[in-house]
Amino acid sequence: MKIITLCTLCFLFFLACKKDNSTNRTAEDSKQLLKRVVLTSTTGNLSYEVANYRYNSEGSITAEGTKTYVRDEKQRIVRILDSRTPTSRADIQVYYSTFLPSKVAYTLCTFVDGKTWDSVVYVHDNTGQLVKKLSYLTYLSNNNLPVSVFLSHFEVFAYDESGNLMQLDFYNIDQGRTIHCGQYRFARYDTKQNPMYSNDEVRSMEYALEGVINASKNNCITINDFNKNYEYRADGKPKSCLVRSATQSYTLTFEYQ
């Protein structure tokens, strides 16, 4: 399992969009929810893709790109459906901690063959911050009983003092050896709220395109060798963002309801 490939390809977003030409903003603008994020590539292998957002009556995200979120009466995400993810991650059940009900304990999904479980355990520090995600594979017998469990890979998270993701490290387990296979460094953030952010731990670490897309509280402006230059509306919400590295260039465009 190549985790970098999965993490980079499974979340490839975003399609070209209309501009917000209004120059006079009112207080109502600040209540607008994100409708669509569009990614347009001017270099590299990508052309453009789009992620549409939907919300329920409580204002909680229920759809994000190809993902659909099912929520319980506490507005917690309890199931994630992703029509674009093959095999193991297309239907994920989410379970929460008994002692910390707002924190995810683990997720569980079944491979298409019905003989393998894919489970991710969420590890928190003593402040409740997510610091590690451990991915386990469980093989089942013909009677659907677990016969073997092994750790396949894990991710380690570090944050800045504002709670934004600062560093994300990927590790694979190969024949009992732990191999560091990748890293994102989210070096700088601005002070404005990221419209893709929500307080849902199970989706709060989504990322793609070498970290260009992320869901921290604030807008990240430096990720690895990518620099992001935001253009903001009068209400402080991002209108567009030019993303550049030495070899690639993207434009993100934000539309609101």
**Which of 132, 173, 128 has its CA nearest to residue 151?**
173
pLDDT at residue 13, as a whole number: 30
pLDDT tens for residues 159-211? 998 889 999 999 999 988 999 999 999 999 999 999 988 889 998 666 666 66
pLDDT of res. 31: 72
- The CATH architecture of the domain made up of 3-256 is Beta Barrel (2.40)
Q: Please state whether the predicted TM-score (pTM) of the whole model is above 0.85.
A: no
Instruction: State pLDDT tens for residues 115-155.
Output: 888 899 999 999 999 999 999 999 888 877 778 899 999 99
Compute the C-alpha angle 40/43/47, nearest 5°: 40
Alpha helical stretches, state H, the chain: 3-9
Between the alpha carbon of residue 152 and those of residues 141, 145, 257, the distances in Å are: 19, 20, 41
3-state SS, residue 128? coil
Q: In the 8-state DSSP scheme, what is residue 33?
A: P
The mean per-residue pLDDT over the stretch 234-241 comes to 94
Lowest mean pLDDT among 6-20, 85-99, 105-119, 222-236: 6-20
- Look at residues 250, 256, 212 and name the one whose alpha carbon lies nearest to residue 234: 256
What's the pLDDT at 4?
37
What pLDDT does 20 receive?
39
